[in-house]
Structure 1
Amino acid sequence: SGRERHDEKITVYVSAEELMDLEHARLVLRGEHGLAVDRGRIVREAVAVVLADLESRGDASILVRRLRGR
């Protein structure tokens, strides 16, 4: 089916606004970029990008800056 199998699961609670933003991103990816992906795929890719940024930029990473409120 072309789908990747995942063995682990986490539950993440988001606000209604965050869920709407995620759904909006899914629709933009589909409508403007021709990418029919589900919300789980978007979240996995976003996590991978943020973790790679943390690995390469450390204290200057977007994750550290956001968690520190900067």
Structure 2
Amino acid sequence: MTDRRPGATPRQKHDAKITVYVSDEELLALEHARLALRAHHGVAVDRGRVVREAVAVVLADLADNGADSVLVRRLRQDSGP
């Protein structure tokens, strides 16, 4: 299925699903990001696409930078000493 709207990215079928719980603030931030992508960058995507891209970015950073990755630093910060 292809989205024909101007600025839209092609849709892909996904075979697996996970459920992720987020805070109200995180959900609001995600929606703000989605709206900013559309309003300021002409990229019309749903929240799921934003999340999938964010996961891809953070996993690539982990693969490239290991212990120095943003993910490792943030998780260590959250878990304490």
Note whether the superposition's TM-score is higher than 0.5.
Answer: yes
Deviation at 1:12, TM superposition (A): 0.1
Q: Normalising by structure 2, report the TM-score.
A: 0.84
SS of equivalent to 2:31: helix
Q: Which structure 2 segments of 5+ residues have no match?
A: 3-10
- Aligned equivalents of 2:61 and 2:44: distance in 1? 25
User: Does 2:55 match 1:47?
Assistant: yes
- Aligned equivalents of 1:21 and 1:69: distance in 2? 21
RMSD: 1.0
- Aligned equivalents of 1:48 and 1:26: distance in 2? 17
Deviation at 1:38, TM superposition (A): 0.2
User: Does 2:33 match 1:33?
Assistant: no
Q: Which structure 1 segments of 5+ residues have no match?
A: none
The amino acid of 1:68's aligned partner reads R
Where does residue 12 of structure 2 map in the other structure?
A: 4
Where does residue 28 of structure 2 map in the other structure?
A: 20
The amino acid of 2:37's aligned partner reads L
Say which structure, 1 or 2, has more relative contact order (CA 8 Å, 6+ apart): 2
Runs of 4+ residues deviating >3 angstroms? none
